[in-house]
Structure 1
Amino acid sequence: MRRASHIKGLLLFALLAIFLRLLPLPIHSRILTGFLPRIMLNTIPTTEAGWRASLDALPATPDNIPAFFFAHGSPMLAYPNSSTTTSARAGIQAWQGPTGPLANFLRDFGPTLLKKYNPKGIVVFSAHWETLGERLVTDYGDENPLLMDYYGFPEALYQLKFKSRGDSTLTKRVVQLFKDAGYLTRTTTKLEPRGEDGRGFPGPGLDHGVFVPFRIMFGEEFTDLPIVQASIDASMSPEGNWKIGKAVAELRKDGILVLAGGLPIHNLRDFSCFHPDTAQPLYHEFHKAIVDAVQIPEDESRKRALMALTAHRGFRLANPREDHFVPLYVAAGAGEQGRVSVLNGLFGMATVAFGL
């Protein structure tokens, strides 16, 4: 009965999405920002029809853009179809590979962000760039280099392209916001390596938690908007990373899209965790706890529930190290007031909009 009810709910969303597109824009907008989000509160989208309805329901507020936590996946998003994977990695390829549900969601997610918000730029935080004691912000100029910070993959994954640009004005704005919040902060340029590259050298650049999903979201050449990356807090403190997000929250009113990428379930010691059919029940319990926490409507109660997730009995199993989880707090801090929407509730790779 529960499964049948869930399917009926998803079919309703699909029909609503079609119906709403036929309405005049003012009526369409009032429904999307009022009635529909309340219906969707109790039904988490896990199918294409469901997440498209959730994306359609996002309010078009270019002067107050929500902050987003998104599942950035892994290099498996670009894994060549002609390559074979070990049986241990077959699940992650099916769930997070180039034809899996995460890739399909990202193909809808990126264009929706551009259409809804017409942003002037993107500031992105990734699980793969952490600094302790100071905040670093990229200032890469006319073309952002790529840091291919992964190892042991097919050669094709070291030929990936994503052409984008930075912007010194946006970088300086982010740096000033961090300074205003009391942080030690500075810029980093192409001349300063920030990590080891799988091609065999240390280098600068956007890491794979940025360029791998972005090339799906925005295309392999995306120079219309500047992209600036900032580091997360290597202390892995939930409160510390929440404050980082809060420090840059003003960007949302400046027409800047704030994105924080990670994976709420990320245990490389247990590849079974990456697919719902093979993941043990405790992973599913933790996934549900995340979704339940972000749906709490009252701001302070939601924050307490989010902070409590690190004490959940499934947290350490799902996150042997916290790096892929704490970007959730960056996004939540940047959008700590207002409604929250789960744009997709896909197991282990939910995407959430904060500050609606």
Structure 2
Amino acid sequence: MPVFFIGHGAPLYALGNNPYVKAWRKAAENIPKPKAIVSISAHWLTPGKTLVTATPQPKTIHDFGRMDDRLFEMQYPAPGSPELATKISQTISKVKVGLDHDWGYDHGTWCVLYHMFPDADIPVIQLSIDYAKAGDFHFSLAKELQFLRKKGVLIMASGNIVHNLGMLKFPENYAYDWAIQFDQEAKELMDNGNFQDLVNFQKLGKEAQLSIPTPDHYFPLLYALGLKTEKDSISYPIEGMSYGSTSMRSVRIG
């Protein structure tokens, strides 16, 4: 089963028939139907611990401020999978993975899956990001999820390679030069297999510092890259810049 890193961007994208939503749908059409989905979202940060959702029917979380009221009416009623959550908890050895019964589907997960798999009939669980850990932890932890791919489970990481809300700027299709430059640099590093440079993103210079003022939206990328094997191809089903300082680039592994 392939692995996706999805650049999810603003929640408002979930409302419309925009190019990004269309590309998410097409990306899902080009893979076998998953038996389950494990989502690693930029919006579930758990400093000091790693958790996995273990409820049979997770709630849809509207974890954003006042926006279009239609967003708050949207639900993604996909079932959870306590069995899969337990299997992950038992299999990962790098760190203790706790079973969580409170979290649900945050917008990094449901805004994308709402369009990729609109029937909401595939079990979904979320794996949290230990925000107290550095990039190499997340990159290596991802490798312990490799067994899921062989079982027909789709691993979807959701964030943005470039994500600086403090420098958001209109119009929607505007992009700062530094944002374009780092997005392209990240692509070139991925194309050349220089993943360690991306793990150590703090050393990549000014463009990286502006693009990743905080690593919450960047860490999911490292999970996708950590899952790449020598046989896997790497491609970019979606590219684009949004509101000056957000990259909508998505990555397919395999």
TM-score by length of 2: 0.90
**Number of the residue aligned with 2:252:** 353
Mapped to 1, the partners of 2:45 and 2:214 lie a distance apart of 13
Residue 288 to residue 166, structure 1, CA distance change in 2 (3 Å): same
**Bigger proportion of residues as helix:** 1
**Number of the residue aligned with 2:20:** 102
1:169 pairs with 2:70: no
Q: What's the offset of the Cα at 1:211? A: 0.6
Deviations 1:246-269 (A, max 9, x none): 121111111111110101111111
Alignment of 1:57-206 (within 5 A): 65-79=1-15, 98-112=16-30, 116-141=31-56, 143-178=57-92, 181-189=93-101, 192=102, 204-206=103-105
Q: Equivalent residue of 1:211, what SS? A: helix
Mapped to 1, the partners of 2:159 and 2:202 lie a distance apart of 15
Q: Equivalent residue of 1:122, what SS? A: strand
Mapped to 2, the partners of 1:341 and 1:308 lie a distance apart of 22
**Number of the residue aligned with 2:176:** 280
Deviations 1:106-136 (A, max 9, x none): 1212222xxx323211111000012223211
Q: Equivalent residue of 1:269, what SS? A: helix
Mapped to 1, the partners of 2:75 and 2:67 lie a distance apart of 16
Unaligned runs of 5+ in 1: 1-64, 80-97, 193-203
Matched to 2:7, the amino acid is A
Instruction: Give the CA RMSD over aligned residues.
Output: 1.9
TM-score by length of 1: 0.65
Residue 267 of structure 1 contacts residue 273 of structure 1 at CA under 8 Å; is this kept in 2?
no
Q: Equivalent residue of 2:123, what SS? A: strand
Unaligned runs of 5+ in 2: 242-246
Residue 253 to residue 238, structure 1, CA distance change in 2 (3 Å): same
Residue 14 of structure 2 contacts residue 21 of structure 2 at CA under 8 Å; is this kept in 1?
no
**Number of the residue aligned with 1:14:** none
Residue 273 to residue 117, structure 1, CA distance change in 2 (3 Å): farther
Residue 11 of structure 2 contacts residue 111 of structure 2 at CA under 8 Å; is this kept in 1?
yes
Q: When the two structures are aligned, how many residues end up with a matched partner? A: 247
1:267 pairs with 2:172: no
Identity of aligned pairs, percent? 26
Structure of higher RCO (CA pairs closer than 8 Å, 6+ residues apart) = 2
Alignment of 1:308-323 (within 5 A): 308-312=200-204, 313-323=206-216
Mapped to 2, the partners of 1:273 and 1:242 lie a distance apart of 34
Q: Which of residues 225, 229, 237 is equivalent to 1:332?
A: 225
Residue 130 of structure 1 contacts residue 233 of structure 1 at CA under 8 Å; is this kept in 2?
yes
Matched to 1:306, the amino acid is L
Q: Which of residues 279, 282, 302 is equivalent to 2:194?
A: 302
1:222 pairs with 2:105: no
**Number of the residue aligned with 2:244:** none
Mapped to 2, the partners of 1:107 and 1:353 lie a distance apart of 14
Mapped to 2, the partners of 1:209 and 1:264 lie a distance apart of 14
